[in-house]
């Protein structure tokens, strides 16, 4: 049985793109909220699947159920991250953290580069799945940034770290679906990551203050970027790509702090957002940052062989049967789909860190009555709209995948490009992340297709595979699922279009440059 599926022609390609077009058009042009645009796009995808792609009600139900299962995987992280933030905020910790980081790097350009670019990359390396956006965006806002600018800086700033982030989950997914050797692929991808690292730093500076900030911060961006790129490559070279983003983010933040204190950015004016910077902090920074220290520690601990062995059978996930459309497109049987490992999934790690921190706060007399109830209610109100949007969006994506719409669109893009395929390849990687909010999912959807196309064209499979994953990471800056995380946290629910308008030009520009990089390596350097 093969994934024969629908014929790849202009009609089917157009039909396959309609739900995506509606999603983008609805958010950016009509200015619908993301939940509304996603719901309409899902309904349209279902209708097209039933009418033109050989689906039936059972296939639609299974695909939508898979979408909801994957939504639980993602939304549990969102809920846990927001709850953790709200508890710390209720206890006054966010003010303390924001003031401390502002004191370390007081100017807005310094904060953008050290916190919005390097530190967010570190958080992506540790947890991923929207956690950097959930953690760093509120910090940027409390440092004095407007909500839209704060969200945009973090979305663009963390994107370089996504392809090696989440402790290597998306990278190892890439090796599994393509069958390419991990060591060689890691070396090549780390080298190709140099450009996205530098470009994302330039983009963050430009978001902060336009070309004047880019010029002012050019030398700092270059030196921080080189330090991050060398660290990224070094850890990949020694066979530890799973911590490449973590190490690079830490080295970048440290390098930036040193350069700034040496006066490389000159004198900057600090513009605090509230009176929190005018008073002495009520609590110690490290105590208030304890939950995030614990998240890092537990994330490392979860990757030890001992924990992996114990947690091998401790998970939750639903089983789905193999399905086949009337046109012969087959979706394989899924066992424990969107598996949530109790000792390794980010949500249990976040909740464990929160529980331990609350216990310590109670012992030290820092806990206030009603904090948890208040935080739970606030988290529900903040997350409800995002939950609806993410659920509908992922249901749309899985239905499209299960009936062959996504594959049809990808094949049409690849087959019609020929020699310019490397230039357009990044947009396929971005498409997968845009649909699902996950570089891992993008690699699952398109990596094997991209490698197959590269083989057919006789070009380097490693370059194309690496470009697929890097572009999927850059696509995180415009993925509605991640945008929803940021807007929910800073009180911008319903204004996702403003953030997308801010981040999209930078994302598209970096994707074009990634495509040119792939083309030059493929046809000029290796031609």
**In the chain, domain spans:** 10-525
Q: What's the confidence (pLDDT) of residue 274? A: 47
Q: Which residue has the higher pLDDT, 129 or 346?
A: 346
Among 325, 445, 461, residue whose Cα is nearest residue 394: 445
Q: For residue range 70-123, list pLDDT tens digits in order.
A: 778 777 877 887 788 789 888 888 778 767 766 777 788 999 999 999 988 987
CA distance 521 to 281: 52
Q: Quick check: 467 pLDDT over 70?
A: yes
Residue 511 to residue 527: CA distance in whole angstroms: 22
| Count of residues making up the chain | 527
pLDDT at residue 1 in the model: 38
Task: Give residue 413's pLDDT band: very low, low, confident or very high (50, 70, 90).
Answer: confident
Burial of 400 (C-beta count, 10 Å sphere; 0-12/13-18/19+): buried
Q: Which CA distances in Å does 355 have to 86, 113, 295?
A: 13, 32, 11
pLDDT for 203 beyond 50: yes
pLDDT of residue 5: 77
CA atoms of 116 and 152, how far apart (whole Å): 9
**Residue 434: other Cβ atoms inside 10 A:** 24
pLDDT at 275: 47
236-294 tens-digit pLDDT: 887 778 778 888 998 998 999 999 888 887 666 555 544 444 445 567 888 988 887 88
Q: Identify the burial level of 71 via C-beta atoms within 10 angstroms of its C-beta, where 0-12 means exposed, 13-18 middle and 19 or more buried.
A: buried
Instruction: Tell me how far apart the alpha carbons of residues 91 and 95 are, in angstroms, rounded to a whole number.
Output: 9
Higher pLDDT, 190 or 495: 190
Instruction: Collapse the DSSP code of 331 into the 3-class scheme (helix H, G, I; strand E, B; otherwise coil) and give the result.
Output: strand
Choice between 437 and 58, residue whose per-residue pLDDT is larger: 58
Sign of the CA dihedral running 234, 197, 427, 21: positive
Q: What is the pLDDT of residue 231?
A: 93
C-alpha–C-alpha distance, residues 463 and 471, integer Å = 12
What is the predicted pLDDT for the residue at 43? 96
Strands (E), 257-302: none
Residue 133 makes CB contacts below 8 A (sequence gap 6+) with 120, 151, 154, 155, 158, 482, 485, 486, 489
CA distance 249 to 244: 9
How confident is the model at residue 490, as a pLDDT? 65
Please report the pLDDT score of residue 277 as a whole number: 45
- How much is the mean pLDDT over the chain? 84
pLDDT tens digit sequence for 156-191: 999 999 988 776 777 877 886 787 888 899 999 999
| pLDDT for position 83 | 86
| Confidence (pLDDT) at 448 | 76
**Rounded alpha-carbon distances, angstroms, from residue 20 to 28, 396, 448:** 12, 9, 21
pLDDT at 324 over 50: yes
- Tell me the mean pLDDT in the region 392-414: 83
Q: What is the pTM of this model?
A: 0.72
Per-residue pLDDT, 278: 46
For the segment 37-43, the average pLDDT, to the nearest whole number, is: 91
C-alpha–C-alpha distance, residues 215 and 211, integer Å: 6
Q: In the predicted model, what is the mean pLDDT of residues 295-322?
A: 77
Model pLDDT, residue 527: 58
Which has the closest alpha carbon to 177: 451, 406, 429?
Answer: 451
The reported pLDDT for the residue numbered 280 is: 52
């Amino acid at each position: 049985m093969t994934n024969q599926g629908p014929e790849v022609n202009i009609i089917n390609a157009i039909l396959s793109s309609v739900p995506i077009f509606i999603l983008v058009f609805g958010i950016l042009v009509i200015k619908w909220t993301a939940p509304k645009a996603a719901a309409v796009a899902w309904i349209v995808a279902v209708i097209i699947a039933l009418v033109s792609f050989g689906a039936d009600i059972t296939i639609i139900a299974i695909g939508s159920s898979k979408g909801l299962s994957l939504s639980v995987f993602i939304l549990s992280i969102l809920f846990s991250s927001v709850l953790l933030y709200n508890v710390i905020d209720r206890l006054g910790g966010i003010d303390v953290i924001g003031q401390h980081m502002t004191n370390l790097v007081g100017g807005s350009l310094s904060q953008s580069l050290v916190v919005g670019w390097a530190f967010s990359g570190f958080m992506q390396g540790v947890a991923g799945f929207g956690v950097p956006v959930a953690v760093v965006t509120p910090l940027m806002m409390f440092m004095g940034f407007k909500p839209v600018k704060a969200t945009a800086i973090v979305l663009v700033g963390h994107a370089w770290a996504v392809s090696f982030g989440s402790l290597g989950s998306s990278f190892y997914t890439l090796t599994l679906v393509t069958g390419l050797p991990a060591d060689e692929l890691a070396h090549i991808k780390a080298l190709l990551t140099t450009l996205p690292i530098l470009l994302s730093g330039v983009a963050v500076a430009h978001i902060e203050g336009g070309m004047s900030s880019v010029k002012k911060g050019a030398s700092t961006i270059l030196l921080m970027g080189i330090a991050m790129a060398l660290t990224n490559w070094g850890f990949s070279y020694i066979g530890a790509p799973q911590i490449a983003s973590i190490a690079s983010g830490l080295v970048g933040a440290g390098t930036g702090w040193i350069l700034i204190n040496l006066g490389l950015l000159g004198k900057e004016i600090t513009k605090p957002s509230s009176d929190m910077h005018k008073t002495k902090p009520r609590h110690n920074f490290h105590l208030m940052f304890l939950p995030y220290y614990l998240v890092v520690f537990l994330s490392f601990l979860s990757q030890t062989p001992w924990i992996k062995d114990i947690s091998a059978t401790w998970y939750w996930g639903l089983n789905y049967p193999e399905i086949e459309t009337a046109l012969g497109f087959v979706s394989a049987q899924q066992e424990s789909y969107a598996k949530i490992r109790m000792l390794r999934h980010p949500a249990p790690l976040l909740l464990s860190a929160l529980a331990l921190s609350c216990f310590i706060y109670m012992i030290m007399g820092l806990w206030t009555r009603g904090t948890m109830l208040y935080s739970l209610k606030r988290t529900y109100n903040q997350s409800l709209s995002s939950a609806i949007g993410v659920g509908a969006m992922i249901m749309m994506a899985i239905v499209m995948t299960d009936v062959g719409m996504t594959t049809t669109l990808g094949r049409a893009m690849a087959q019609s490009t020929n020699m310019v395929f490397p230039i357009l390849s990044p947009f396929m990687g971005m498409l997968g992340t845009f649909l699902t909010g996950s570089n891992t999912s993008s690699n699952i959807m398109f990596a094997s297709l991209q490698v197959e196309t590269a083989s057919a064209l006789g070009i380097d499979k490693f370059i194309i595979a690496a470009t697929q994953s890097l572009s999927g990471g850059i696509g995180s800056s415009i993925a509605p699922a991640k945008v929803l995380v940021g807007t929910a946290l800073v009180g911008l629910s319903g204004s996702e279009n403003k953030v997308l308008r801010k981040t999209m030009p930078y994302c598209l520009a970096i994707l074009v440059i990634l495509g040119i990089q792939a083309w030059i390596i493929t046809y000029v350097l290796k031609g």
